Amino acid sequence: MRKLPKPNDNSKEVFLECISNIRKKEFKERLELCADEIAAAVNDYDDKKNNNKLHRIRSTDNIAGIVSNEEMKNLYNNKLVGKKGPGRKYYDKLIASAKNGICPICGHREVSTLDHYLSKMKYPLFAVALINLIPACKDCNFTKGEYEFNNEKGATIHPYYDEIDNVIWLNAKLKEEDDIVFIFEVLKPKGWNDLLYERVKNHFKIFDLNKLYSVQAAVEFEGMKRMLIKIYQRSGEEEVRNHLKECLESYEYVNLNSWKCGMYRALIESEWFYSDWLERYLE
């Protein structure tokens, strides 16, 4: 869930470039007739998203009654994604915009595809609109599928428009069992309105991020627990906390709301972790 720079390429020029090498004259002419409508729709998309009204854009199965959603899907696959397509440079540019190659939707896995924020099959006007194409990992793209929303509370976070990583909102806590289990959740920071809070929670649910983060944290902790036990046996609780705080500080410098930050905060703040779990390992 990371902010990305919004593409500023001219939407009409992008579309015309994508269709530039189509050989079927009749098909190309139909597409050219849609160019102005697509450009106007992209401007409307931008305006509505800036004003939390994107849900008012209605789905359709064609453009102007002359180009079908299936044709726009094929245009995307062949002319923008296809390695020899004239629009491939835009695909590569979007993929490269993800910081460190990490999916901005989950903040963890590697970017390998583009996700249509509004489905290309239900919103064909935006099939090759760059502001509707989000660099993503395959898992997030598959999990979201053809997801639609009819109000802004149901919308997921849009990396080109939503800035949420300037404050801490990701929380983790320990499930007090023999094995350390991390549970992740969204907390509402000061300054957030109810709409943003509901959207972040919805995003967290749609992409099943608690499961992803919990599994990763469990694996990470398994690799570090022996070291923490030794520090505790040698120097006590305070030294363990100091070590965890130093690790947290390093990860917060990169991303305040990574699952690693949530994991370290949970360990630092859990009295049970020190008074019960680590206490078992005193010699």
Token pair in block for residue 108: 């963890």
Given this model, what pLDDT does residue 71 score?
A: 96
Residue-wise pLDDT for 231-271, tens only, equals 999 999 999 999 999 999 999 999 999 999 999 999 999 99
Residue-wise pLDDT for 114-135, tens only, equals 999 999 999 999 999 999 999 9
Tallying the residues shown for the chain, one arrives at 283
SS3 180: coil
Q: What average pLDDT does the segment 124-149 reach?
A: 93
Token pair in block for residue 69: 């959603």
Predicted model pTM: 0.91
Per DSSP, 126 falls in state G
Given this model, what pLDDT does residue 178 score?
A: 74
Residue-wise pLDDT for 185-206, tens only, equals 999 999 999 999 999 999 999 9
Beta bridge partners of 172: 184
Given this model, what pLDDT does residue 54 score?
A: 94
Phi, psi at residue 273, to the nearest 5°? -60, -40
Cα separation, 93 vs 113, whole angstroms: 12
**pLDDT at residue 272 tops 80:** yes
Cα separation, 38 vs 43, whole angstroms: 9
User: CB of 85 within 8 A of CB of 38?
Assistant: no
Domain range summary for the chain, segments of one domain joined by +: 11-154, 170-281
Cα separation, 128 vs 37, whole angstroms: 13
Cα separation, 88 vs 82, whole angstroms: 6
Residue-wise pLDDT for 9-51, tens only, equals 999 999 999 999 999 999 999 999 999 999 999 999 999 999 9
What DSSP assignment string belongs to 196-251?
A: HHHHHHHHHHHTTHHHHHHHHHHHHHHHHHHHHHHHHHHH-HHHHHHHHHHHHHHH
Contact partners, residue 92, CB within 8 Å, separation at least 6? none
Residue-wise pLDDT for 89-111, tens only, equals 999 999 999 999 999 999 999 99
Residue-wise pLDDT for 49-89, tens only, equals 999 999 999 999 999 999 999 999 999 999 999 999 999 99
* Strand blocks (E) in the chain: 62-63, 67-68, 113-116, 133-136, 170-175, 181-186
Given this model, what pLDDT does residue 283 score?
A: 60
Beta bridge partners of 173: 183
Cα separation, 27 vs 117, whole angstroms: 26
Better pLDDT: 177 or 13: 13
**pLDDT at residue 221 tops 90:** yes
Per DSSP, 86 falls in state T
